[in-house]
Amino acid sequence: MTEFADRISAAYAAKGKALDLGRGVVAGATDPSAAVQPSAAMCNRHGLIAGGTGTGKTKTLQLMAEQLSAMDVSVFAADMKGDLPGIAEPGEHSERVDGRVGELGMTWEPAGRAVQFLALGGQGAGIPVRATISSFGPTLLAKVMDANETQSSSLSLVFRYADDHQLGLLDLADLRAVLQFLLSDDGRADLKGLGGLSSATAGVLLRKIVELEELGAEPFFGEPQLEVAALIGVHPDGAGLVSCLELPSVQDRPRLFSTFLLWLLAELFETLPEVGDLDQPKLVFFFDEAHLLFEGASKPFREQIAQTVRLIRSKGVGVFFITQLPDDVPDEILAQLGNRIQHALRASPRVTRRHSKPQSPPTPRRVTTTSKRISPSSAPARRW
């Protein structure tokens, strides 16, 4: 073993199962004995997979998904570009692949994984993914609507009003009906009583609901709501379930899709029991194209993601964000990602822009320690 390989092995030394991500390269040559094998137990310390376009981020996701599943860990991944069903098909031996495998000193046998498909709003083949409006909550809905701060807090008041009056909010039509009532002659007194919700803002919210309906969001909301327990388990063939949520035409509705992924995460957080630190996670959740989550995200929205990500670790769930630039992920979330896989960063216009800025002295980054335990009682009482 070379000294380099010794150092790499020492860095990744851990008891129990480990992922096999590749081999170290020194002075341009692959060192087959320098195995990069992060421990499976560390996968609930969350992670980031970053790199320029076409550098292999989705391939890394596939590699990790296959290996985690082989360890009976369930995997959830959202498929923005139709890349993931490939996991279901066994690969093929070829001169290039076999040559590379030999160079790495690894063994490889083509194998497919059973993949369970989920279909957002029941559109397409797979288990339908739907959420009721009340479970989705005002913060996520405000993000979907692209609501400003005033509209967002007004929406919270409407949810509270519905709660206080035991009005079930199942789908967009229910929410529309509540707003229409508040804007009607009969509801005017109630609207006034809400304090802080003007009829002008209520009108804007109503228009935004109509816009959502026009965007085709209606089938995404309502009953039956997805039971997130369906994402965790072992496939009859013995491997951890691999669930793949297909998101066709994501570019048309990025906010809607990405917010739905957050709802899934929040739902997992609320449903799963506290398990502390396990030898390996129960589920690893991959957010491919994660920049879509954070584009234009408000501070409360970012804080709520940060809080869910921090707390979900003790429920046995690991979350990996996949995006081109690490800076696509806000600092408060980045600080919690214990595993980093960095592919080549290409000079994109965004990188060039940042690097051409005059350099200011570095400011200390706020770091949230992952060892800080937060009792379940400090968990958010209300869904976000």
Nearer to ligand ATP, 56 or 126 (CB): 56
51 part of the interface to ligand ATP, by CB under 6 A = yes
CA max distance for the chain: 82
User: Does 291 contact ligand ATP by CB under 6 A?
Assistant: no
Please name every residue paired with 323 in a beta bridge, in sequence order, or none if there are none: 50
Residue nearest to ligand ATP (CB): 56
The region of 9-17, 56-64, 205-213, 362-370 touching ligand ATP under the rule CB under 6 A is 56-64
Give the C-alpha separation, 135 to 140, whole Å: 10
CB of 170 to ligand ATP, least distance (A): 36
Would you say 66 and 60 are in contact if contact means Cβ atoms under 8 Å apart?
no
Rounded to the nearest whole angstrom, what is the least distance from the CB of residue 287 to Mg ion in the complex?
12
| By CB under 5 A, residue 324 contacts Mg ion | no
Pick out residues in 45-74 that bind Mg ion (CB under 5 A). 57-58
Compute φ and ψ for 246, nearest 5 degrees. Answer: -85, 130
Out of 53, 94, 107, 166, name the contact with ligand ATP by CB under 6 A. 53
Residue 59 engages ligand ATP in binding (rule: CB under 6 A): yes
User: Residue 327, class by beta-carbon neighbours within 10 Å (0-12 exposed, 13-18 middle, 19+ buried)?
Assistant: middle
Sequential DSSP letters for 59-84: HHHHHHHHHHHHTT-EEEEEESSS-G
Query: Which of ligand ATP, Mg ion, none does residue 54 bind (CB under 5 to 8 Å by kind)?
Result: ligand ATP
Q: Is 323 in the site for Mg ion (CB under 5 A)?
A: no
Minimum distance from CB of 250 to Mg ion (Å)?
A: 12
**Does 56 contact ligand ATP by CB under 6 A?**
yes
Nearer to Mg ion, 57 or 315 (CB): 57
Prior bond of 236 cis (ω within 30°): no
Q: Residue 85 CB, nearest distance to ligand ATP (Å)?
A: 13
Q: What is the CA radius of gyration of the chain?
A: 23
CA–CA distances in Å: residue 11 to residues 24, 61, 209: 12, 22, 52
Q: Which two tokens stand for residue 13?
A: 């030394």
Binding mask 319-358 for ligand ATP (x = CB under 6 A): -----x----------------------------------
Residue 77 CB, shortest distance to Mg ion, in Å, is 11
In the list Mg ion, ligand ATP, none, the entry touching 139 (Cβ below 5 to 8 angstroms by class) is: none
Instruction: Tell me how far apart the alpha carbons of residues 41 and 31 are, in angstroms, rounded to a whole number.
Output: 25
CB atoms within 10 A of CB 79: 24
Residue 24 sits in the site that holds ligand ATP (CB under 6 A): no
List the alpha helices (DSSP H) in the chain.
3-12, 57-70, 95-104, 133-145, 149-164, 172-183, 188-194, 199-214, 254-271, 291-294, 299-312, 331-334, 349-355
Q: Which of 179, 186, 174 is nearest to 201 (CA)?
A: 179
Task: Say whether residue 55 binds ligand ATP (CB under 6 A).
Answer: yes
| Under rule CB under 6 A, residue 94 binds ligand ATP | no
Residues engaged in binding ligand ATP (CB under 6 A): 51, 53-59, 83, 324
